[in-house]
Amino acid sequence: MNIYSRFLSRYYFGTVKIFKLPDLGEKIKEATIKKWHVKIGDRVNEFDPVADVSTDKMFTQIPSNYTGKIHKLFHQEDETCLVGGDFLEIEVESDTQESASSQPQHHQVKQEDTKQQEIHQTIQTNNTPSNHKLATPAVRHLAKQKGIDLNKIQGSGQDGRILKTDLEKQVQSPKEQPQSSTKINIKSESTSTVIKMSDFQKGMQKSMTEANSIPHLYLKEEVDLTELAQMREQLKKEKNITFMTLLIKSFSLALTKYPILNSTYDTTKQFEYTQHSSHNVSVALDSPKGLVVPNIKNVQNLSISQIQDELNRLRTLGEKGQLSFNELSGGTICLSNIGTIGGTYTGPLILAPQVCIVGIGRLMTVPRYDAKMNIVPRKIMNLSFGCDHRVIDGATVARFNNVWKTYLENPTSMFIHLK
């Protein structure tokens, strides 16, 4: 087959489509490409994963919208892509004669667009000031953090684009190190390292900065879980039910009496809040990538066994860094079990736009007086409420706590309410 025949075969029977980075929700504007699962020339099917990306709120996989052959990757790993920006090109086979007949015109337009881009890049390279070096926003931000002048770097990417690796070489180069720094390192054995935050750490910083602007109301309580611990031992004969699962279910039962705690507050609508009928309980989890807060949807409709299954699933996904947007969004109220690591009381910050969070301390066996004033061992846990005082008052939190405490200290009282 000659060159002309291959040209006609390709562009009469194939379409090169640009796949843009899809909307990831939660007002996310950009994502960092952590790993490509494809390379140029690979064939993919619709819904096959093409890349792993991370944002300040999640780590997720991007699936292909098309079936075809990878034609171009617009970014390298560790580069940032804007939502709606060019992600990759896929050469898609046309299914109908109509789509085939439309290809010459499509390719002609694409060629013209490509030429315009090349001309624009040539003009920018030759005629623009030196402070307009080609680089992604992520590379420019990293250069600013490290105090590197992009004008002094020759980029190794396409059309002289400056890559992250170019910055790393610049930092490692001994020629760029000031002599004064070398002398300090020789005289002192101590070193300081600047650590760039991960995407999840960035998300925590943003959400906690926002949370710190909320006027918090705190309430701290001690609950006796001796009876609940005995009930759990009975349940474990059928299934390994954790204390966290029992806390979540009893918490949901108490919310039915005080639904205002299961609300969200939009700061742009100052004198109103949204009360939710679905108890989507967010659970703060410690993962290898940092703090993640997925949520269990519709806890009010789930059995204790179903809650345990969902909690196990979220923990597994969190450990693998595979929590999706659906698991991380839509939470209405939060429980944070710091007691699994250590600590008794805490002062938790609200996960906005939610209006309530509860920090759970560790379970301890301590001496307490019984009704006859005898000292007996009891299993005690401490709870710490953090509430948005713009929506919730102290009396409401205290009354809710009394109901929840009753369920926890007298677990049989829950059974008549279980679905």
330: tokens are: 């839509």
Write down the catalytic residue from 113, 149, 159, 393. Answer: 393
Catalytic residue among 107, 216, 389, 417: 389
Both tokens of 35, joined, read: 């790993």
Those residues with Cβ within 8 angstroms of residue 229's Cβ, 6 or more apart along the chain or in another chain: 243, 363, 379
CA atoms within 13 A on the CB side of 291: 17
User: Rounded CA gap, 38 and 47, in Å?
Assistant: 13
393 is catalytic: yes
SS3 sequence, 4-58?
HHHHHHHHHHEEEEEEECCCCCCCCCEEEEEEECCCCCCEECCCCEEEEEECCCC
Q: Residue 305: which region, alpha, beta or left (left: phi > 0; alpha: psi -120 to 50)?
A: alpha
Residue 174 is inside which H or E element, if any? none
Lookup: tokens for 210? 């926002």
Q: Rounded to whole angstroms, what are the CA distances from 52 to 78, 137, 394?
A: 10, 19, 44
Alpha helices in 147-198 (DSSP H): 164-172, 179-187
Active site residue 276: no
Neighbouring CB atoms inside 10 A of 64's CB total 21
CA distance between the termini of the chain = 70
Q: Catalytic residue numbers?
A: 389, 393
